[in-house]
Amino acid sequence: MAAANVKDVAALARVSIGTVSNVLNRPEIVSPETAERVMQAIEKLGFVRNDAARQLKAGRSNAIGLVLLDGANPFFTEMATAAEDGAARAGFSVIVGNSNEKKDRESGYLNLFEEQRVRGILISPVGNVAPRLRRIRDHGIPVVLVDRTSPDSSFSSVSVDDVTGGAVAVTHLIDSGRRRIAFVGGAMSIRQVSDRLQGARIAVGMRADVSLEVITTAALVVSEGREAGRAIARRPASERPDAIFAANDLVAIGLLQGLLMEGRIAIPDQIAVIGYDDIPFADASVVALSSIRQPTRLIGETAVEILLEEADDPTLEPRHVVYQPELVIRDSSGGPAA
């Protein structure tokens, strides 16, 4: 019942415990016959190496800690999966923590990761954890920011250029003939939201004949988008925008609902809609949603790569990788305004 240990295996195979360890870790230096005997003993006893002892000896673990902002958002879960795959390729595992935008949960996971002596930490921070992260790094644990750049550039980061993304989205709307554009999203305190809006402003700023209205929502969820859509549908046709840029796909999907079902507004004929993130469901909404795609998997993989390099060589200068988003045109923004 009690788990077997190396000592038991050694006794059964009539070798020293050192040899058992060698069979497990450096099989090439032990003679085939001995190795065979040891393997049989392991098999017979159902021996499973105790990772805690191994880590204690090694002084560090083979895990990477990852703190996510929102576990319910397909964008983050996909990124996490990519990080896991990348880590697995290098022989590491990933411990995923979901902060859910709560500072105390974030802090709890950082504690956990420190106690586990993880090899490094990937994080999309919610609170102002920079000082904490600095201390962690001073203890020899590298930290890479994901989907957010470091204010003082002292941490490596992997992010996407949301300003450009916003500009691309709105430029696309303008190019397809739209002139009265609305931005729907919030809260503005979320950096991604303000960046995307800023991009929209830049795109519009170059054109005197284009207007940009900003409609603020409380959160980036479907229900908020639906409300905004209803409100817009209720307006007289002349006061409606002819295109809407939503701060993310959830809001955009809500908008479609509100506009189509409540207002019988034709999409994209009367109003074009574009979202952001290109989540799998974008393509599955009734009017297939145009969106701005982020290289989600690439973000996760790159972050792991950088992290592991820094773990190998702590003297490395911090790096900042910024990916460019990509326009995905689907039905919701096709064709010109009526």
Partner DNA sequence: GGGGTGCATTGAAACGCTTCAGGAAGAAGC
Partner DNA sequence: GCTTCTTCCTGAAGCGTTTCAATGCACCCC
Q: Which residues contact 117 (CB under 8 A, 6 or more apart)?
A: 55, 59, 60, 61, 141
Q: From the CB of 207, what's the least distance to its own copies, in Å?
A: 32
The secondary structure of 254-308 as a DSSP string is HHHHIIIIIH---TTTT-EEE-SB--TTGGGSSSPPBEEE--HHHHHHHHHHHHH
**In residues, how long is the chain?**
338
**Which CB, 40 or 153, lies closer to DNA?**
40
Stretch of 34-42, 135-143, 177-185, 233-241 lying at the interface with its own copies (CB under 8 A): 135-143
40 scored as a contact of DNA (CB under 7 A): no
Q: Judge residue 274's burial from the number of C-beta atoms within 10 Å of its C-beta, 0-12 exposed, 13-18 middle, 19 or more buried.
A: buried
Residue of 34, 74, 202, 293 interacting with its own copies (CB under 8 A): 74
Residue of 1, 46, 59, 236 interacting with DNA (CB under 7 A): 59
Q: Pick one of its own copies, DNA, none as the site partner of residue 211 (Cβ within 5 to 8 A by kind).
A: none
34 scored as a contact of DNA (CB under 7 A): yes
Binding marks (x or -) toward its own copies, 83..122, rule CB under 8 A? -x--------x-xx-x------------xx-xxxx-----
Q: Pick one of DNA, its own copies, none as the site partner of residue 46 (Cβ within 5 to 8 A by kind).
A: its own copies
Return d(Cα 74, Cα 41) in angstroms, integer.
Answer: 46
**Which CB, 2 or 208, lies closer to its own copies?**
2
91 scored as a contact of DNA (CB under 7 A): no
**Which CB, 127 or 314, lies closer to DNA?**
314
Query: In terms of C-beta distances under 8 Å and separation of at least 24 residues, what long-range contacts does 134-138 make, across chains too?
Result: 136/110
Token output for 291 = 């969106």
Task: State whether residue 328 is helix, strand or coil.
Answer: strand
21 scored as a contact of its own copies (CB under 8 A): no
Is residue 141 within 8 A of residue 120, CB to CB? The reply is: yes
Return d(Cα 19, Cα 29) in angstroms, integer.
Answer: 10
Of residues 28 through 67, those in contact with its own copies by CB under 8 A are 46, 48-56, 61
21 scored as a contact of DNA (CB under 7 A): yes
Residue of 47, 183, 245, 276 interacting with DNA (CB under 7 A): 47
72 scored as a contact of its own copies (CB under 8 A): yes
Q: HSE (CB half, 13 Å, CA atoms) of 157? A: 19
The helix (H) or strand (E) run that includes residue 37 is helix 32-45
Q: HSE (CB half, 13 Å, CA atoms) of 127? A: 14
151 scored as a contact of its own copies (CB under 8 A): no
Of the candidates 214, 221, 217, 186, the one whose C-alpha atom is nearest the C-alpha of residue 200 is 214
Q: Which residues contact 307 (CB under 8 A, 6 or more apart)?
A: 64, 119, 120, 121, 122, 142, 144, 156
Q: Pick one of DNA, its own copies, none as the site partner of residue 72 (Cβ within 5 to 8 A by kind).
A: its own copies
Of residues 243 through 272, those in contact with its own copies by CB under 8 A are 250, 253-254, 256-257, 260-261
**Contact residues for its own copies (CB under 8 A)?**
1-3, 46, 48-56, 61, 71-72, 74, 77-78, 80-81, 84, 93, 95-96, 98, 111-112, 114-117, 135, 138-140, 222, 250, 253-254, 256-257, 260-261, 280-281, 283-288
**Contact residues for DNA (CB under 7 A)?**
2-3, 5-7, 14-22, 24-26, 29-31, 33-35, 47, 49-50, 53-54, 56-59
